[in-house]
Structure 1
Amino acid sequence: MLNAKLVLEEGSIFKGKIFGKEGETSGEIVFNTSMTGYQEILTDPSYKGEIVCMTYPLIGNYGINSDDFESIKPHVNGFIVKEFSNNPENWRLKKKLELYLKENNITGITGIDTRALTKTLRRQGTMRGIITTEDLGEEQLIEKAKNVPALSGRDLVSQVTTSKVRKYGEGKNLRVVLVDSGAKDNIKNSLLQRGAEVIVVPASFSAEEILAFNPDGVMFSNGPGDPRDAAYVAKTIKALLGKTVIFGICLGHQLLAMACGAETYKLKFGHRGANHPVKDLKNGRVYISSQNHGFAVKKDSLENLDIEITHLNVNDNTIEGIKHKKYPAFSVQYHPEGSPGPQDSHYLFDQFIEMLKK
């Protein structure tokens, strides 16, 4: 394997080895604390524009299978691991992780101290960076990292949304329009399992185009980037309020809040992993959730709005769920479908379906 370097914009340089596609890649460096589920993470469209560091030290030991994809291809800009397994074993194994990355032109780096990198990101905040095999001076490499485009200011949703309308399931009694801002497959699957017909539409669809399907409800999915760069989706949500049942997940949660007049902000290092505790304020229960987001809803911006906070993050008290006081609309910042992660919050899909039936 070729020698490689991971370079952060503040000057940190980590030396390792290239795996996957040889060459150079760039993006915003983030970390994920999940112990398993790297296949789902790689194929989650919400990671568009980001290089993901896995904090669990051994990655790739069960390879890549046919079942755990969240979209048709990986979306990460790069992949960082302490150690990758080149000899995976699993009864579902179809190919090795490194081969999968090569086939999809994803550059990774292995052999670095991922604990030190994660501590740096927690201390300094999320940063831009590069993975490279170029033998340049440190100052030149750091300058390249500084010139990596920021996540904000780019409409990444338009790069991952579906290009056409897609219909799934029979759903004789229930029809859900899923507005795809970068939707994970298990959101659609969770609706299909509950007997709904699911119509997936591009994120650019207007309220009129969505209502033309005569849906019982509309779901707004997760997706990449700064929610302010997808303000056109928030405009659609605002036009739909009171006309149908609305459920937002992750980016969809932020966009629902924006549609109601709230503001969002960028977290220092985000929430990414399958072990984030969330408290349901209605019953006092704490659920362990799967999360992947770098932005959140400003709590003080909700004052004097028709929004009720329903869930809070136990670790940092950030908003994890809201509902509209007048209209049938609610959202959560985390992923009730898991994938990867716990299934504690599947009840939210049941709650949505019950709202559709009423």
Structure 2
Amino acid sequence: MKCTSKSAGCGGCDTLDIEYKVQLEQKHEQLKKLIGKFGTVEPVIAADEPLHYRCKIINTYAVNKRGEIAAGLYAKNTHKVINTSSCLLEDKLAQKAAQAVLYATQKCRYEPFNEDKGFGLVRHFLIRRALYTNQLMVVVVTAQDILPGSKKFVAFMREKCPEITTVVQNVNAMRTSAVLGEKYKTLFGRGFIEDTLCDCRFVISPSSFYQVNPAQAQKLYETAIELAALKEGETALDAYCGTGTIGIAAAKKSGASVAGVELNKDAVKDAIKNAKLNDAKNVRFYSSDAGKFMKKLAEDHENVDCVFLDPPRDGSSEEFLSALCALKPARIIYISCAPDSLARDLEYLLSRDKSYKIKKIVPVDMFPQTRHIETICLLSRTK
């Protein structure tokens, strides 16, 4: 399979030239080597659509060799922007929106921001597609508050892509590599979109974390909730809960009481909105460090039947895992995006508390055409 961006230096997909079936076999073997000693690694849950699955696009503005306004991704290990408009991983409707944004930018003659010189107007744009509701959000990142002719800009954009649901301006005036700043202004629509996942509805704001592959995220969460086997009357904790997706879905499906804990205050605000949107009265969200939160629960002798944890790529800290062992939940659902840190954390958990046994290891291919793999582990406590 040929990708026109790869020869230009794009590092987005490193296994595109390998048959998808073989990719899955390689990922399975990788997991067996790293965590096979803990238990049987089940077959990888494959993607129905291994191409055009990414429902989020982030492009950087630039000026090409012909002096034209362009946009794309940075080439690997550089700050050179390359054209990725024919990317084989990006969702096709999101790509249509991206081309519409570039067209509108060219029509309005907005000057791309020059990182070295520190001047210019437009820095980046972000596209998010809600797969199951077909809603589209465009976020345009500018270096200053004023976006001249913003109404024309939106009109040009929707001329090429009428499916666009909302357009938001984000202001990032800092000399930084971070894409988004802290100030937002809605130019068109509601300023957010909504999607459905696991029979629940979720708000996606410009800065919200939401899985880039919603189709596989649905399989991931459904599998995790099934393994948790929660029942009405039980209590669960959703650590690293983000905007509350898995906690709300688990609460709605099982009737169990769920507490979600997240350090990011903006994510907690979104989680509370999502709980209200789904009339999930058996869910509560807290802005706190999850490790400290669990430690306090353990000190207060609170009973928790199940803990969901979905940490960042670096995995969990020893402080967090110690608090988890002190809490002694009957079941732990560990969702990992990095096999190395998963292996390390499982080693720590099992050596710290020998009453836990690994019952299931289920890999989910969230990112076809790459070497990344997501893994769900069920740990059960034997009394």
TM-score range normalised by the length of the shorter chain = 0.3 to 0.5
Bigger fraction of residues in helix:
2
TM-score when normalising by structure 1 = 0.33
